[in-house]
Amino acid sequence: MDLYFMPLACSLATRIALYETGEGAHTRFRRVWFTTKLMDDGLDYRTVNPKGQVPALRLDDGTLLTEGAAVLQYVADRKPEAGIVPPQGTKERYRLQSLLNFIATELHKLILAQILDPATPEEAKRHAREVVAPNRLALLVRELAGRDFLLDSGFSIADAYAFFVLTLCPIAKVDLAPWPPLAAYYERMKARPTVARALAEEFELARAGV
Ligand X SMILES: N[C@@H](CCC(=O)N[C@@H](CS)C(=O)NCC(=O)O)C(=O)O
| Cα(162)–Cα(168) distance, integer angstroms | 10
| Cα(51)–Cα(44) distance, integer angstroms | 12
Q: Is 9 in the site for ligand X (CB under 6 A)?
A: yes
Smallest separation, CB 13 to ligand X (Å):
9
* C-beta closer to ligand X: residue 22 or 111: 111
Q: Which of 54, 84, 85, 174 binds ligand X (CB under 6 A)?
A: 54
Q: How far is CA 121 from CA 116, 117, 127, 176, 188, in A?
A: 11, 9, 10, 22, 35
Count of other CB atoms within 10 angstroms of residue 13 = 30
* Nearest residue to ligand X on Cβ basis: 53
Q: Count the site residues for ligand X by CB under 6 A.
A: 11
Smallest separation, CB 137 to ligand X (Å):
18
The site map against ligand X for 150-189 (x = CB under 6 A) is ----------------------------------------
- Specify whether the CB–CB gap between 61 and 9 falls below 8 A: no
Q: Which of 4, 24, 49, 68 binds ligand X (CB under 6 A)?
A: 68
- Specify whether the CB–CB gap between 136 and 111 falls below 8 A: yes
Q: How far is CA 55 from CA 22, 98, 103, 162, 164, in A?
A: 18, 19, 15, 15, 12
Q: Which of 3, 7, 10, 73 binds ligand X (CB under 6 A)?
A: 10
Q: Which of 21, 53, 73, 114 binds ligand X (CB under 6 A)?
A: 53
Q: Is 23 in the site for ligand X (CB under 6 A)?
A: no
Q: Is 104 in the site for ligand X (CB under 6 A)?
A: yes
Residue 64: phi, psi to the nearest 5? -105, 125
**Chain contacts with ligand X (rule: CB under 6 A):** 6, 9-10, 34, 52-54, 67-68, 104, 113
